Amino acid sequence: MEDRSLKTSELADLAGVNVHTVRYYESRGLLPKPPRTRSGYRMYGSEHVAHIRFIKRAQELGFTLEEIQELLGLRVIPGGGAEVRAKTSEKLAEIDDKIRDLQAIRGKLLELASACDHHGSPDSCRVLHALADPADISVQTGQA
């Protein structure tokens, strides 16, 4: 993409987000403030497109906006790669914990589904009883 000035709507289209997202990222400090025309219009460049795409890819990998802000800051620090690796390892451990929690939940749901008589009345449905009485559905997860 040639480096030309982009309006907010053009930036949003090229980056695959909406205009409100661009403004939100800018207000959060995730996107560098662009220069403005004399009449006050924001004029973005190709670096802003790359910046937003970085943010969106990081979100797809499960990073929060706060974590992404840290990663963006580490991009400009010499030797910041070690810290990026550490943050990536932390995120991986967090995802592993979520997977374990989801597997525990899945197991409990399988157990409840297999015990449910789908021809019976709602009064005899074990799933509904388990949802009504927390003692019937104790699933051990790492969540508080």
Residues 90 and 65 in one domain: no
Quickly count: other Cβ atoms within 10 Å of residue 64's Cβ.
Answer: 11
Residues 67 and 42 in one domain: yes
pLDDT in tens, 62-79: 999 999 999 999 988 888
Residues 3 and 62 in one domain: yes
Look up the domain containing 94 and give its range: 82-144
Residues 87 and 143 in one domain: yes
pLDDT in tens, 7-20: 999 999 999 999 99
Residues 136 and 99 in one domain: yes
Amino acid at 129: H
Give the CATH number for residue 35.
1.10.1660.10
Quickly count: other Cβ atoms within 10 Å of residue 99's Cβ.
Answer: 10
Domain boundary among 76, 91, 117: 76
pLDDT in tens for each of the 144 residues of the chain? 456 799 999 999 999 999 999 999 999 999 998 999 899 889 999 999 999 999 999 999 999 999 999 999 998 888 888 899 999 999 999 999 999 999 999 998 888 888 776 676 777 677 777 778 777 666 666 654
What is the number of domains present in the chain? 2
The whole-number pLDDT of residue 114 equals 81
Q: Cα separation of 65 and 73, whole Å? A: 12
Q: SS3 of 129, please?
A: helix
Domain boundary among 60, 76, 92: 76
DSSP state of 66: H
Query: Angle of helix 81-115 relative to helix 65-74, nearest 10 degrees?
Result: 160
